[in-house]
Amino acid sequence: MTKPTLLITRHLPDAIEARAARDYDARLNTADDPWFRDGAEIAHRAAGAAGILCAAGDPMGEATIAALPDSVKIISTFSVGTDHIAIPAARARGIEVTNTPEVLSFATAEIAFTLMLMAARRAGEGERMVRAGAWHGWAPTQLMGVTLEGKRLGILGFGRIGQKLAAMARGMSMEIHYRDVRRAAPEQEQGAVFHETDAGFLGAIDVLSMHVPGGDATRKWLNADRIAMLRPGALVVNSGRGPSVDDAALAAALRTGHVRAAGLDVYDGEPRVFPAYLDLENVALLPHLGSATIETRAAMGERCLDNLDAVLLRGQAALHRA
């Protein structure tokens, strides 16, 4: 039996590529060549393919979807987020779109917690000081930050990742507050305080951690008006979606000290980083490491292939339809 052709746009963990090569006529990108940044090139390379395994950031917008050959039956994205895919356009062409929910929640919450600690304890500044040879020994007032103990953590988006972060923060004796479109069930809240308004939420917290999906509804959600609602000296962490932050407004608040410090793992237009952040000592910057653990990336790849197998090898419904 002829194996279905599968286009894989990015270099994936070795075990995932090996499984794909075993079960499919797999077109791999083992060198991670940057052709994946060009939607027209993706469509060209998909000629004759039954499936596409893409990744976050790949330009799978309406133009790319329209240019895909009729042979494509499924797009499986190596991510939970699907804002890089024009899902309505794909569905209109009868193309299934799947993602990788559930397997990366803990890892992404870990990065959010890492950024919280880095921002609170000025870890980025300290690491740069040591590497620059500018550390001359312990001093009573050197790089004093703030403790997270007893602080009020505000979680914007109380889904799987937000709830994992809440569990971690409780171990630091933090008080949990959250804002979402609807209140969570009591067993999910575990005592967390729900806020119905932005003003009430932002005015009550010491640390804001953002976990909202992408799209127009959340674009520049953290703007100058909402930043002004934060308590002076608040911390801001974003490991969700880069476009949900108004970069100019956050940078201005970091310069004045209204926001004491920030920790960012995602950026609007990444890999481009808003230039003003690079000159600010009180912002910790990570290169989109949210799901970057060996265990999580392996699980994501397995989930992608499970979705592809269901549709292309067994003729069944996709397991994780986006």
Catalytically annotated residues? 241, 270, 288
Cα separation, 107 vs 297, in Å, equals 10
Cα separation, 148 vs 145, in Å, equals 10
Cα separation, 158 vs 194, in Å, equals 10
Q: Contact 246/224 with Cβ under 8 angstroms? A: yes
Q: Which amino acid is at 208?
A: L
SS3 229: helix
SS3 304: helix
Cα separation, 313 vs 255, in Å, equals 55
Residue 7 pairs in a beta bridge with 27, 52
Cα separation, 65 vs 83, in Å, equals 14
Q: Which two tokens stand for residue 138?
A: 């312990």
Q: Which amino acid is at 81?
A: G
Q: Which amino acid is at 112?
A: A
Closest CA to 157 of 215, 76, 99: 215
Question: What angle separates helix 105-121 from helix 160-170, to the nearest 10 degrees?
Answer: 50
